Amino acid sequence: MKLSELMPGETGVVTKVAGTGAIHRRLLAMGILPGTVIRVARLSPFGDPIEYEIRGVFISLRKSEADYVEIDRIIPLHMVPAGEKVRVMILDGGVNFIRNMGSIGISPGKIIEILSPCCPMRVRTALGEHYVGKGEAYRIYVR
Amino acid sequence: MLIALAGNPNTGKSSLFNAITGAHQHIGNWPGVTVEKKEGTITFEGKKITIVDLPGTYSLTAYSLEEVITRNFILEEEPDVVVDVIDATNLERNLYLLTELMELTDRIVIALNMFDEAKKKYKLDVKKMRELLGLPVIPTVAIKDKGIKDLLHACLHGYFKPKKLSYPEDVENRVEKLQRMMENLDLKNKRWHAIKLLENDSEVRKKFANLGRKDILHEAEHLRHEIEDIYGDDIETLIASFRYSFAHGLFHEVAEPLNVGGVTITDMIDHVVAHKIFGLPIFLVVMYLSFEFVFVVAAPFQDAIDLIFNGKTLASGQHINGLIDISYHWMASFMPNWASSFINYGMLRGLAAVLTFTPIIMFLFLILSILEDSGYLARVAFLMDKLMRKIGLEGRGIISLMLGFGCNVPAVMSTRALKNERERELSIALNPLIPCGARIQVFAFITAIFFKHNQALVMWSLILLSMGVVALLGYVYSKTIFKGKAEPFVMELPPYRVPSLKGIFIHMWEKSEGFLRKAGTIIVGAAGIIWLLAALPWGVQFGGENSYIGQIAHFLAPVGAPFGITPESIIALFFGFFAKEVVIDVFYVLYGTKEALFAAMTPLQAYSLLLFILFYTPCVATLATIYNETKSTKFVLFVILEGFALALFFSFLAYTIGSFLGVGG
Ligand SMILES: Nc1nc2c(ncn2[C@@H]2O[C@H](COP(=O)(O)OP(=O)(O)O)[C@@H](O)[C@H]2O)c(=O)[nH]1
Ligand SMILES: [Mg+2]
């Protein structure tokens, strides 16, 4: 789906940045790239432009610009209620973070089950039951 | 020694520049363009250092003027050191530009600015960053002058062994291949050129086409397609991804986030201030209060300057002498009267006019700086964008237009905030149509005499008409003469900050000083010309019917008739060209009392005159400022013609319809 179709509060991961020329290059330079996590912060009074949060920064994009960006909808783990089974999509952190999460069975593609809600969260992975803290749950994205 | 400051917009480059150079700075333009260039010179450890503030950029593509200026400066002027000013609270995105800078030069010092704020957000390992980059990394807090000495020290004695980003082998091979083809070219920094060719950079391609190296261009094209096939995406996305993964990796190596998931103060403020429904009313209130503030504070200064120089004519007709009168009499005692009159009632009066403008310019820029530095201006742009786009401007355009209600001079100066050249010109072309404070004063004076019972209605009709005309012309202009292609609007909404006093005062001073120096001479010159027309032939009443201007007005009387405009009004309009509020004084001089003025015109004629005053040429100060901002006489002429065309159109329309219907006659 297109980034412009995402609703306020929802999160997506970029799959493609289409287009050519200045706008395309500017989007890339701002760090909107395949794999980037992006959240809709709020709409302006006329619904255009839209404010997004990306890499910890708030930016405003016109709808026509957000139309260039293809995304998949994802959910930050801390927002998932207990009892759900979800697939891990993105770990938004450095190598240490990715390694630590991998060691408890949380890595992209894996299915995990939420046992108790955030935070800390109790989850069941292929490697058993584990606690996930707030600092981590906010950086794990699932679907 | 030459040091260049580069970095993303809003990282504190200007603050750092101010902290380093203090008062020793010079503001100009980059050759041939209106992008501001700041230069300063200091002596540090006995060495003379020149510092240049480069425009803020997110990357170094060929798509924007700022980016081309920045990279060409580094390529061609070869600064001894490039200081990359990084916003440490926003490390990852800022490191992207660093990867590009590192391809241009080895001699980079990193200023990790906003370190005070960053410490609250991350645990930062500066030492590790130094090691991983092989470059000096200096934490700074520009607004508190912290880290400046260390930064300069690093520029002089730093150790530069950059560990550059290398692309995947498939890409590196091809970069090297292109580099080898450039071997016998007299070209610095071949690797950068090779990468830019692979990126399909229009400027660099032009360069090679000019060198007659079509072979290299063809090869680059071929290699680019190979890379795109291997990775299955377009080259721009690929190269940006490689650079970002370097930035991402480095960021996570050196920064440990603190309190993830917390709500920031900025977010809480924006919850209200950038709100879908409350945002616009809040904006209107902020602007209203700002204007109240400016007028309340600036008006006494302006009145005082006016009183000191021009004295005051009391309602009884008695005149209290001001400096100009006193100086005239004094000089007349040892030089011919006409010479003393020219010096005092011509030039000195011009100077006084320049000075009376200054308080309002200073205070409007004070407000503008506060709005900008606090981060609110970006929210205004966000809130207003959709609306303003209908008249061909981005959201920030609203600010320049609104400032116009205060004074068109700072309003025109403020269009610099618009990055897009076409939008700047459009904004400048529309601005004089907004009635400034001086014109509104004249409206209030005339309506109070002629429209006692519905003064507010008449005033509002004028203001709403001007807004309607601006909207309509903006729409038409943006589709015709100021048409342009879409440019990225992608804009950052920086965290709210308490603006630094020093930054605000420097900005205020820069703008006021710029106005005094550049527009001042033009205004004083114009005052001289006006004197010649009003005082000659020598011996006539100043601006009276026998003066040149009186004769011109008499000559133009038949032209004014279809509009209901009297010869006396023509004289008043002529002086109004100098400064709009002068129209009031001229009427006093010509008619003596309000009653006489009331008897001289019908209300319909008065309304027609009001419409004329609303639109006809902007004052000299505004024209001088427009010239400074555009450096184009053609543009100035365009604005004058535009004003007269609208003035004639609306006066004629109102007077004809009114006469036909028999109203106000
Ligand atoms: N807290 C903090 N604020 C800063 C620092 N440096 C600059 N600022 C603020 O950041 C904003 C942008 O600064 P400015 O110098 O205009 O950035 P430029 O756009 O890069 O020239 C202003 O509000 C400054 O007061 C710093 O080191 N710490
Ligand atoms: Mg700046």
Final residue before a domain boundary, out of A74, A102, A123: A74
Instruction: Judge whether A69 is closer than 8 Å to chain B, CB to CB.
Output: no
Same-domain status, A55 and A110: no
For residue B482, what pLDDT is reported?
Answer: 87
Provide the domain count of chain A: 2
Q: Are B407 and B362 in contact (CB under 8 A)?
A: no
Q: For residue B63, give the nearest of A66, A21, A69 by alpha carbon.
A: A21
The shortest C-alpha distance from B7 to chain A (Å) reads 13
Residue partners of B555: CB distance under 8 A and separation at least 6:
none
DSSP of A90-121: EE-S-HHHHHHHHHTT--TT-EEEEEE-SSSE
Provide CATH 3.40.50.300 ranges for chain B.
2-157
DSSP class of residue B32 equals: T
Same-domain status, A69 and A95: no
Distance, in Å, from the CA atom of B345 to the CA atom of B339, rounded to the nearest integer, reads 10
For residue B353, what pLDDT is reported?
Answer: 80
Same-domain status, A85 and A57: no
Strand A50-54 and strand A37-43: the pairing is antiparallel
Of A35, A65, A96, which has the smallest distance from its Cβ to B488's Cβ?
Answer: A65
Write out residues 17-56 of A within 8 Å (CB-CB) of B.
Answer: 17, 21-31, 33-35, 41-49, 51, 55-56
Final residue before a domain boundary, out of A74, A108, A123: A74
Instruction: Give the count of alpha carbons within 13 A of B325, CB side only.
Output: 11
CA of B77 to the centre of ligand 2 (A): 21
Same-domain status, A39 and A68: yes
- Residue B33's identity, in one-letter code, is V
Same-domain status, A29 and A68: yes
Q: What is the 3-state secondary structure (H, E, C) of B274-338?
A: CCCCCHHHHHHHHHHHHHHHHHHHHHHHHHHHHHHHHCEECCCCCEECCHHHHHHHHHHCCCCHH
B96/A26 CB distance under 8 A: no
B241/A96 CB distance under 8 A: no
Q: For residue B400, give the nearest of B439, B371, B442 by alpha carbon.
A: B371
Neighbours of ion ligand 2 (CB under 5 A): B 14
Q: For residue B193, give the nearest of B154, B162, B220, B159 by alpha carbon.
A: B220
> What proportion of chain B, given as a percentage, has pLDDT over 90?
56
CA of B493 to the centre of ligand 1 (A): 14
- Residue B594's identity, in one-letter code, is K
Final residue before a domain boundary, out of A74, A100, A119: A74
Joined together, the tokens standing for residue A91 give: 């770990």
Same-domain status, A41 and A86: no
Element (H, E) at B122: strand B122-124
For residue A40, what pLDDT is reported?
Answer: 96
- Number of helices and strands in chain A (H, E): 4, 10
Strand segments, DSSP code E, in B531-599 are none
Is the CB of B562 within 6 Å of ligand 1?
no
φ/ψ region of B446 (left if φ > 0, alpha if ψ in -120 to 50, else beta) reads alpha
Highest mean pLDDT among B110-119, B182-191, B341-350, B569-578: B110-119
For residue B34, what pLDDT is reported?
Answer: 67
For residue B32, what pLDDT is reported?
Answer: 66
Helix, strand, coil abundance in chain B, percent, nearest 5? 65, 10, 25
pLDDT tens per residue across span B252-295: 999 988 877 678 889 899 999 999 999 999 999 999 999 888 88
Is the CB of B139 within 6 Å of ligand 1?
no
Element (H, E) at A122: strand A121-125
**pLDDT averaged over chain B?**
89
Whether residue B379 has pLDDT greater than 90:
yes
pLDDT tens per residue across span B481-534: 888 777 788 899 999 999 988 888 888 888 888 888 877 888 888 888 888 888
Same-domain status, A86 and A70: no
CATH code of A102's domain: 2.30.30.90
**Protein residue with its CA nearest to atom 2 in ligand 1:** B114
Instruction: Read off the pLDDT of each residue in B618-645 and give the average, rounded to a whole number.
Output: 93
Same-domain status, A91 and A53: no
For residue B47, what pLDDT is reported?
Answer: 93
In this structure, of B64-73, B161-170, B215-224, B549-558, the range with the lowest mean pLDDT score is B549-558
Domain that holds residue A18: 3-74
Task: Give the sheet arrangement for strand A37-43, strand by strand.
Answer: A128-132, A121-125, A111-116, A85-91, A140-142, A69-76, A11-17, A37-43, A50-54, A57-61, B491-492
Q: Are B51 and B81 in contact (CB under 8 A)?
A: no
Cβ of B645: how many Cβ atoms within 10 Å? Answer: 12
Q: For residue B352, give the nearest of B362, B360, B363, B344 by alpha carbon.
A: B344
Whether residue B455 has pLDDT greater than 90:
no
Tell me which chain A residues have a C-beta less than 8 angstroms from the C-beta of B90.
55-57
Instruction: Read off the pLDDT of each residue in B299-311 and give the average, rounded to a whole number.
Output: 87
Report the greatest alpha carbon distance in chain A: 49
Is the CB of B9 within 6 Å of ligand 1?
yes
* Model confidence band, residue B665 (pLDDT cutoffs 50, 70, 90): low
pLDDT tens per residue across span B546-605: 888 888 888 888 888 888 888 888 888 888 888 888 888 788 777 777 888 888 889 999
CATH number for the region B2-157 comes to: 3.40.50.300
Q: Are B198 and B178 in contact (CB under 8 A)?
A: yes
Instruction: State whether the Cα torsion B597-B601-B603-B608 is positive or negative.
Output: negative
For residue B664, what pLDDT is reported?
Answer: 66
B252/A96 CB distance under 8 A: yes
* Model confidence band, residue B16 (pLDDT cutoffs 50, 70, 90): very high
Environment class of residue A135 by beta-carbon count within 10 Å: exposed (0-12), middle (13-18) or buried (19+)?
middle
Same-domain status, A63 and A17: yes
- Residue B479's identity, in one-letter code, is K
DSSP of B403-463: HHTT-HHHHHHGGGG---HHHHHHHHHHGGGSPPHHHHHHHHHHHHHH-STTHHHHHHHHH
Is the CB of B6 within 6 Å of ligand 1?
no
At B55, is the secondary structure helix, strand, or coil?
Answer: coil
Whether residue B358 has pLDDT greater than 90:
no
Mutate to test the interface with B, among A11, A57, A61, A121 (most CBs of B within 10 A): A57
Mutate to test the interface with B, among A60, A79, A119, A136 (most CBs of B within 10 A): A60
Higher pLDDT, B647 or B302: B647
Instruction: Read off the pLDDT of each residue in B6-14 and give the average, rounded to a whole number.
Output: 93
Q: Output Rg (C-alpha) for chain A, integer angstroms.
A: 16
Is the CB of B121 within 6 Å of ligand 1?
no
Whether residue B86 has pLDDT greater than 80:
yes
ipTM over 0.90: yes
Distance, in Å, from the CA atom of B594 to the CA atom of A56, rounded to the nearest integer, reads 64
Ligand 1 test: best mutation among B5, B11, B15, B492, most atoms within 8 Å of CB? B15
Instruction: Read off the pLDDT of each residue in B226-242 and give the average, rounded to a whole number.
Output: 94
Of B236, B260, B387, which has the smallest distance from its Cβ to A139's Cβ?
Answer: B260
DSSP of B531-545: HHHHH-STTSPTTST
pLDDT tens per residue across span B424-444: 999 999 999 999 988 998 999
Of A22, A42, A46, which has the smallest distance from its Cβ to B487's Cβ?
Answer: A22
Same-domain status, A101 and A132: yes
B489/A138 CB distance under 8 A: no
Same-domain status, A60 and A91: no
Instruction: Read off the pLDDT of each residue in B366-382 and give the average, rounded to a whole number.
Output: 92
> What proportion of chain A, given as a percentage, has pLDDT over 70?
100
A95/B385 CB distance under 8 A: no
Q: Are B408 and B452 in contact (CB under 8 A)?
A: no
Ligand nearest the Cα atom of residue B86: 1
For residue B65, what pLDDT is reported?
Answer: 87
Tell me which chain A residues have a C-beta less than 8 angstroms from the C-beta of B66.
none
For residue B532, what pLDDT is reported?
Answer: 84
Same-domain status, A17 and A50: yes
**Protein residue with its CA nearest to atom 3 in ligand 1:** B114
For residue A88, what pLDDT is reported?
Answer: 93
Whether residue B356 has pLDDT greater than 90:
no
- Residue B100's identity, in one-letter code, is E
pTM here?
0.89
For residue A53, what pLDDT is reported?
Answer: 94
Q: Are B376 and B493 in contact (CB under 8 A)?
A: no
* Model confidence band, residue B377 (pLDDT cutoffs 50, 70, 90): very high
Of A29, A49, A134, which has the smallest distance from its Cβ to B382's Cβ?
Answer: A49
For residue B357, what pLDDT is reported?
Answer: 79
Atom nearest to B503 CA in ligand 1: 25
For residue B258, what pLDDT is reported?
Answer: 84
